[in-house]
Structure 1
Amino acid sequence: MKILLNVCVVLLLGCNTSNKKDNTQLTNSNDDYLIEDVVIETRDGAQLSAIVCRKKENTKPQAVILQSTIYVRDKGRDLNTIKESADRGYVGVIAYARGKRFSPNEIWPYENDANDTYDVIDWISKQEWCDGRVGMFGGSYNGFTQWASLKKPHPALKTIVPYVANRPGLGLPMENNIFINPNYEWAFLVGNNKYLDTIAGNDRQRSRNLMFNWWETGVSYNRMDSIDGIPNRLFQRWISHPSFDGYWQKMAPYKEDFSQIDIPILSIDGYYNDSQNSGLYYLREHYKYNPNAEHYLIIGPYSHFGAQRNGSEEINGYEVDKDALINTNEITYQWFDYVFNDGNKPEKLQNKINYQVMGANEWRSASSIENMSNTHLKFYLTTEKQNDIYTLNDEKPVNSAFLSQKVDFSDRKNGNNDYYPNPIIKEDMDLSNGFNFISEPLEESIVVNGSFLGELTVSINKKDFDFGVTLYEVMPNGKLFHLSYIVGRASYADDIENRQLLQPKEIERIPFSNTHLVSKKLSKGSRLLVYINVNKNPFSELNYGTGKTVSEESIKDAHEPLEVKWYNDSYVEIPILTD
């Protein structure tokens, strides 16, 4: 179907946008720009709202820089960002998700972005001010839409620059098949109206109270919005898909889809981006299915928001190295000039993987994530103690033994699994529950470089459980530096698409690998510490182990405590770089 256009040119007077929240955003008193408010019709008849910004002095077709977003921001922020694209020699376009701003359609985050963004690119490529080349950039949801558009690549799309890109179904609203609570309020932020419901969506105290109310009452996870008293249709839609099924798969490239992506890509991410496994999923899968891809990564000690800006001098109490700070925006436009105008490649891109080494105040590079390390440390989780802490041993135990843990899910006074890296540097290890395993002091300095993996050998009295594994450096001063972690569901350890329940009281092997990537220089005398636990807290879905759909389980299913035997042939492999 031909893509239709409805254009309202905004020069001095603006267009008739009565009762539109961002009318002032389109009132432009600067005669340097030609700004157009457009509605683009998609192949299936939906209408998308977008803004186009060009410099009046540029009469020749130019490459276009597109941002595709669900966030409709007023007070000029959106207009300013496309003006910057125009100032830098491009045409700037910002397109809003289906249902947002002037779009009359329903709002369903993630579900239509693959086709809709393709259609926006197609429309842009046919405009007289476009030279047939389109690039995209942006973070979080805006990073997702870039990848979504590559589900079926449009020939006009020549490059993307995603920051901390979301991958629905993997990093949010669930992580390793566990639904996590902080995404609950986001549904209100983007889904309540044509713009942003910042009152409901940013009410952190209300959301926190809701999480604890749900925790204390013990009702099933799928009734959280009944506790809230406000229906959450997006939440209900999401939790009806606990497996990484076709619902999630169709939203962005999946498996062989990556083989057809042959444009240059620059990804930017952070060690302490809580959805890092989303952004790096795209990178890993891209190289898996297209080994010759031109895909670069810049990563350092940044949070979800820090990576989209310039980092920050301090993150979760940790003062980052001076060398870690970057200018994300400047790097982005250097990349566009490299792709579109034969400019110089950004200086940070010394190889495909470019990472800041925490504690060393330096950047290093590697040809792949795997080549960030040149060896690994393999430790078994023993049942032997040293100074009241269990030990990590590099030799596999000769005799089988286990540590026993009992978790009462009806107990709401105590939570398990303090895994989140805030603060990054802790005074003491958690000895209240779970198990800690510590290594001997390092005889020389090393760099932990990459994503650790491992395998848990367990036996439980139920059909499923959620686990957590956290990796720390115990510094010579005794403080703990949070390096990486994973939370996962045992029944999805082998296959995120299909749940495979455990056999009660049978020994099972639970592999894990989707941990957060990190680079940190450990000094001589430091130790490595591994903390394992059952995941039970107010901040994520609770798996009671009955084998039913987890979101339908409640405290009524907690009559029998979970009993876990952690066997001593469980192990972790930690990638390291030695000079």
Structure 2
Amino acid sequence: MRLVTRAAAAALRLPAARTGRVTVTRDIPVRVRDGVTLRADHYAPDLPGAHCVLIRTPYGRGGPIRLLGRLIAERGFHVVIQSCRGTYGSGGEFAPLVHERDDGLDTLDWLRRQRWWTGAFGMFGASYQGFVQWALAAEAGDELRAMVAVVTASGTRDSTYAGESFALDTVLTWAELLQAQTVPWLARQWELKRGQPRLVRALAHLPLAEADRVATGVTVPFFQEWLRHHTPDADYWRTRVFGERITEVRAPVAMVSGWQDIFLPAQLDDYARLRAAGARPRLVVGPWTHGSPGLLLASLREGLDWLDTRLAGRPAPQRAPVRV
């Protein structure tokens, strides 16, 4: 794996590694307040006094994110990658946005009890991995020293109803992706090779209340709820969006987005609100969609640079607050 990370770092032209020795401990149990056990992997660099980077995700802890964990750890950070509730070995049921605040705070409390904890941490992640950052950020206080929020926003409701119409492609495609994580790998690859015919049929299906079953074979609770609770003032969304407290976030935030990204309007609003509150976030926007390779490369370079300067306090060239 060390050779793979070295090759990846060279190909991506990332900053030089500070260590090649990383110890990985997998499936660490983290018990949260309601008794549910979440599972996490810990990437520990062979360096004293290294701060921590937390990544909470519903997309698993293998594949590309395993490589990401090593890349960040080799640059001098402890990395904890945790599966969100109800995903990839973590207990409980996955209900988007419902438990992320409490589970995030309980995970932070667990971090504080680790012998390698230094009293400071950062967060990194794209899309839903960014939602969980905003869920925790306002209450993390001064211990949170840096955030890297990629194609994400503090408030998900407006992107779900872009222009006040239901974002069917965004929501149904995501529901299908989450359900696909529960099927065997070969079956998933065959579905992708066929062009996802079930999803294509579902996107054209009426009534919309049946589209989730057409796409996935099961009723998806959050899809049904998001169809019902569509009004801007619906109580349903009050505990599922985190934008009301964005001005309380003290950590410096780096934002990376794309001109064609689904969350760009909401992310630009987050940037404007932070600036109005006196913060100095960094914003990078390029010619990318939600999953563009160029976006992933930019987020790695910008993210590692931000963690180096804001979390580790290492010197770096002065950069403009906005790059497009």
* TMscore range, shorter length: 0.7 to 0.9
| Correspondence for 2:70 | 83
Deviation readout 1:163-187 (Å, 9 max, x if unpaired): 1114421213x32332122221321
1:251 aligns with 2:240: yes
CA contact (8 A) 1:114 1:151 kept: no
Q: 2:268 and 2:184 mapped to 1: Cα distance?
A: 28
CA 1:286–1:253: 2 relative to 1, 3 Å: farther
| Correspondence for 1:551 | none
| Match among 264, 278, 281 for residue 252 of structure 2 | 264
Q: How does 1:313-392 map to 2 (within 5 A)?
A: 327-345=298-316, 349-350=319-320, 352-355=321-324
| Correspondence for 2:12 | none
Q: 2:176 and 2:238 mapped to 1: Cα distance?
A: 24
| Match among 167, 171, 175 for residue 162 of structure 2 | 175
Larger helix proportion of the pair: 2
| Correspondence for 1:33 | 22
Q: Secondary structure at the match of 2:258?
A: strand
| Correspondence for 1:233 | 221
1:293 aligns with 2:311: no
| Correspondence for 2:203 | 211
Letter in 2 for 1:253: F
1:190 aligns with 2:178: yes
| Correspondence for 1:129 | 116
CA 1:329–1:111: 2 relative to 1, 3 Å: same
Deviation readout 1:204-256 (Å, 9 max, x if unpaired): 332112222x2xxxx4322334655532222112212102333323234233x
| Match among 267, 272, 289 for residue 303 of structure 1 | 289
CA 1:191–1:210: 2 relative to 1, 3 Å: closer
Deviation readout 1:543-564 (Å, 9 max, x if unpaired): xxxxxxxxxxxxxxxxxxxxxx
Q: 2:230 and 2:156 mapped to 1: Cα distance?
A: 12
Q: 1:193 and 1:333 mapped to 2: Cα distance?
A: 28
Deviation readout 1:39-68 (Å, 9 max, x if unpaired): 11112222211110112x33x332011111
Q: Secondary structure at the match of 1:171?
A: helix
Deviation readout 1:290-311 (Å, 9 max, x if unpaired): 2x1121211122221236313x
Deviation readout 1:458-480 (Å, 9 max, x if unpaired): xxxxxxxxxxxxxxxxxxxxxxx
Larger strand proportion of the pair: 1
Q: 1:189 and 1:223 mapped to 2: Cα distance?
A: 17
1:277 aligns with 2:246: no
Q: Secondary structure at the match of 2:287?
A: strand
Q: Which has the higher contact order (CA 8 A, sep 6+)?
A: 2
Q: 1:68 and 1:104 mapped to 2: Cα distance?
A: 14
Determine which structure has more spread, i.e. the larger CA radius of gyration. Answer: 1
Q: 1:252 and 1:107 mapped to 2: Cα distance?
A: 16
Q: 2:142 and 2:212 mapped to 1: Cα distance?
A: 43
TM-score (norm 1): 0.47
CA 1:83–1:143: 2 relative to 1, 3 Å: same
Identical-pair percentage:
22
The alpha carbon displacement at 1:153 in A equals 3.0
Contiguous gaps of at least 5 residues in structure 1: 1-30, 311-326, 356-579
| Correspondence for 1:97 | 84
Deviation readout 1:345-401 (Å, 9 max, x if unpaired): 465x31x3332xxxxxxxxxxxxxxxxxxxxxxxxxxxxxxxxxxxxxxxxxxxxxx
Superposition RMSD on alpha carbons, in Å?
2.6
